[in-house]
Amino acid sequence: MDWLQAIVLGIVQGLTEFLPISSSAHVSIVGQLFFEGADPGAAFTAVTQLGTETAVLVYFRKDIWRIITHWFGSFTGKVEKGDPDARMGWLVIIGSVPIVLLGLLFQDAIDTTLRNLWITVAMLAGVAVILALADRFGSRNTKELKDLSWRDGILFGLFQACALIPGVSRSGATISGGLFLGYNRPAATRYAFLLAVPAVFGSGLYKLKDIGGDASTAWGPTIVATLIAFGVGYAVIAWLLRYISTHNFNIFVVYRLVVAAVVAGLILTGVLVA
């Protein structure tokens, strides 16, 4: 990977990580379409996500700091165990368990088989339908994050784990799950961002060992892509939270279906190799 490729893929990662359109699918497709058919690989994708998740830490720094301090405070007695922020800390931890276990269990398939573009096409189209249904039936939802139960926290985590398959979208799966569970768009989206932090940082840090190997991207381009993903991702977070407060997800549903159709066509015509 050269520097131009790193810049382009960093922008793509930052633009698509938080939108319900699948960043891993876009990084893979753009890499193959414009850069001599080369899939950047699971390690590059996981590490550049450290940039976008750092954007989450910065954007929600007050909320995250309050959750962390109250969670620790609940152990020392400085904060009541029933404190909402301390409870949210536990919910994020519990909700992160499914993706950690499934990620380790199916690591080889995630790095190889599941990166097949036909699977990506199927997930882009299938989750588009799920997102449309969730958005339609959840348009009048009233549940807030303060209503989040232990059961729902685990279910959110299971929905997030579906994003291990390229084309699903971490935010798309988690938000759809939240809407089906009765949470409103802002609440489902906000929790999706918070829930992603431990999983993405864990995955990215674990994959650092694979960067710079014979079959992987070098450190220099990966760092550049990660820094760019941070800046672009921060802007996307701010925009998306404003957008969903007054709009539905129809634009993303249509976009996913169009991309799925285009990629399928490119595979069938030999432009892309599945």
Angle at 180 between CA 175 and CA 186, to 5 degrees: 40
Identify the pLDDT of residue 38.
65
Identify the pLDDT of residue 236.
94
Query: Burial, 200: exposed, middle or buried (Cβ in 10 Å; 0-12, 13-18, 19+)?
Result: buried
Q: How far apart are CA 257 and CA 12, in angstroms?
A: 18
Residue in the structure block whose two tokens are 């990977």: 1
Q: How far apart are CA 9 and CA 221, in angstroms?
A: 10
Identify the pLDDT of residue 256.
96
Residue in the structure block whose two tokens are 């932090």: 197
- Helices H / strands E in the chain, number of each: 12, 0
Three-class secondary structure assignment of 38-72: CCCCHHHHHHHHHHHHHHHHHHCHHHHHHHHHHHH
Identify the pLDDT of residue 268.
92
Q: How far apart are CA 55 and CA 231, in angstroms?
A: 7
Q: How far apart are CA 70 and CA 68, in angstroms?
A: 6
Identify the pLDDT of residue 252.
95
Identify the pLDDT of residue 30.
87
- Give per-10-residue mean pLDDT for the chain (274 aa): 84 91 86 73 79 92 93 86 88 91 86 86 95 88 89 93 90 93 91 88 77 66 90 94 89 96 92 80
Identify the pLDDT of residue 43.
73
Q: How far apart are CA 171 and CA 248, in angstroms?
A: 14
